Amino acid sequence: MEIGILGGGIAGLSVALALRKRGYHPRVYERRAGPATMGAGVTLWPNASFVLEELGLLQDIQAVGGRPLTMRRQDAAGNALGGLDIGLLDRTMGYPTYTVLRRHLQQVLLHHAARAGIPVAFGHRAVSIELDAHGRAVAHFEHGASIRPDLLIGADGRMTSVARKFVAGDNTPIYQGFVNWIGVAQGPHALVDDMSIRDFWGAGQRFGCVPVRPELVYWAAAQARPLHGATPAAGMRQEVEKLFAGWPDPVSRLIRATPENAIRLIAVHDLEPLHTWSRANVLLVGDAAHAPLPTSGQGACQALEDAWHLARCLDGASGGLDELFQAFAKLRAPKTARLAEQGRVFARGLFATDPETCRIRDERAKASDPVRDVQALAAGWGQGLPMPGGADSMPAEDGGAGSLYRIE
């Protein structure tokens, strides 16, 4: 079977690797001229590490990634608001969490794709998909070439997916009322005291710092603002520094340790759950199918999960592509829709500007039970995967609490 994949991001490359492992010969078509060098980083939670291990990539991720053991929350004045015991989450789910720069993750994926003999055609921007006389999809590229594989996988991301337009019509991403400035700070010496992820909450503002190493830290500064105020302008570093002046250490230090040209402004959009992820012989995966807000922390992790599930569904599908697409959507749609909704709910609280709402939000965060938080995350993120701590691994009689204390 000929398989073409539009998009060489996290979803496209991981799907290609998962399919190659099962004996298929996918080809990847990426619009960029070469590997991406921009973007900050991603946190790969244990469910992502499970997939990376299955794909044989986890050792390489470990070599370039950081290993955070806690996430500490504070308000803008420095008062503690609790946090997350990542070490306990990792032990509960049986896999480690890694923080990694996006370009390093991409390098690892591309390196393994090259080793597996997967052709990645850069400079191939898909501009449209149409059906031929036999009802098979043909993808056309900007420079005039076209492909007509047996299975066409749309992994062309969140904002302008050509594949999503073909499958679901005019389903445009929705601006969720806040912007992110993302950056990577690098210093000759340590910029942070330890490897904790730090999360600072203000009124309508948030700052998150994620160390990969003590001297290499990616960050995201966020602010609620209308879409018309979400255009990048010169002097972004100064603007962010001013907006977060007076916030606790190490916020200002990180902003100052980031070159202006390493800061990017993103108007943050997500997707309504689609009514379908497939049409004819085209299937959507990753952000093209289900792009959650970054506040879900799970976009890349879910793209990786798609790869793992799709390869297994393809193996099991004796009844053709329709059966494959249905099996895949049945497995993936409920979980991705739930995570997208959780990302929205969390964002509403985070970007509230009313002082009373912020006070209640902070009190709730402070009062939350760290063990139950880990339990809930492990159940939600592990769902559908054969890993400890996930909802599927829980004995029915104790509602799942029994798996919490599993230490491996």
Ligand X SMILES: Cc1cc2nc3c(=O)[nH]c(=O)nc-3n(C[C@H](O)[C@H](O)[C@H](O)COP(=O)(O)OP(=O)(O)OC[C@H]3O[C@@H](n4cnc5c(N)ncnc54)[C@H](O)[C@@H]3O)c2cc1C
Residue closer to ligand X by CB (options 109, 324) is: 109
User: Cβ 304 to ligand X, closest distance in Å?
Assistant: 8
Q: Are 352 and 203 in contact (CB under 8 A)?
A: yes
How far apart CA 400 and CA 255 sit, in angstroms, is 42
The residues that touch ligand X, with contacts defined as CB under 6 A, are 6-12, 29-32, 42-43, 124-126, 155-158, 160, 162, 180, 182, 220, 266, 286-288, 294, 297-301, 303
How far apart CA 100 and CA 244 sit, in angstroms, is 24
Residue closer to ligand X by CB (options 88, 139) is: 139
How far apart CA 220 and CA 183 sit, in angstroms, is 7
CA distances from 223 to 296, 355, 378 (A): 16, 15, 29
CA distances from 203 to 114, 124, 327 (A): 46, 43, 43
In this structure, the chain runs to a length of 408
Q: Are 199 and 206 in contact (CB under 8 A)?
A: yes
Residue closer to ligand X by CB (options 169, 316) is: 169
Q: What's the alpha-carbon Rg for the chain, to the nearest Å?
A: 21
Residue closer to ligand X by CB (options 29, 277) is: 29
User: Cβ 242 to ligand X, closest distance in Å?
Assistant: 21
User: Cβ 127 to ligand X, closest distance in Å?
Assistant: 7
Identify which of 222, 217, 164 has the alpha carbon closest to the alpha carbon of residue 191.
217
Residue closer to ligand X by CB (options 154, 202) is: 154
Token duo for residue 15: 């799907």
User: Cβ 111 to ligand X, closest distance in Å?
Assistant: 16
Burial degree of 189 (CB within 10 A; 0-12, 13-18, 19+): exposed
Residue closer to ligand X by CB (options 74, 298) is: 298
Going by the DSSP 8-state scheme, the letter that residue 273 receives in this structure is P
CA atoms within 13 A on the CB side of 136: 11
Q: Which residues pair with 98 in a beta bridge?
A: 44
User: Cβ 133 to ligand X, closest distance in Å?
Assistant: 24
Residue closer to ligand X by CB (options 251, 266) is: 266
Residue closer to ligand X by CB (options 81, 289) is: 289
Helix residue ranges per DSSP H, 120-159 = none
Instruction: Match 């995967």 to its residue by tokens.
Output: 385
User: Cβ 405 to ligand X, closest distance in Å?
Assistant: 27
Q: Is 357 helix (H, G, I), strand (E, B) or coil?
A: helix
Residue closer to ligand X by CB (options 13, 280) is: 13
User: Cβ 130 to ligand X, closest distance in Å?
Assistant: 14
User: Cβ 104 to ligand X, closest distance in Å?
Assistant: 14
Q: Are 381 and 47 in contact (CB under 8 A)?
A: yes
Token duo for residue 160: 């302008």
Q: Which residues pair with 129 in a beta bridge?
A: 139
User: Cβ 281 to ligand X, closest distance in Å?
Assistant: 17
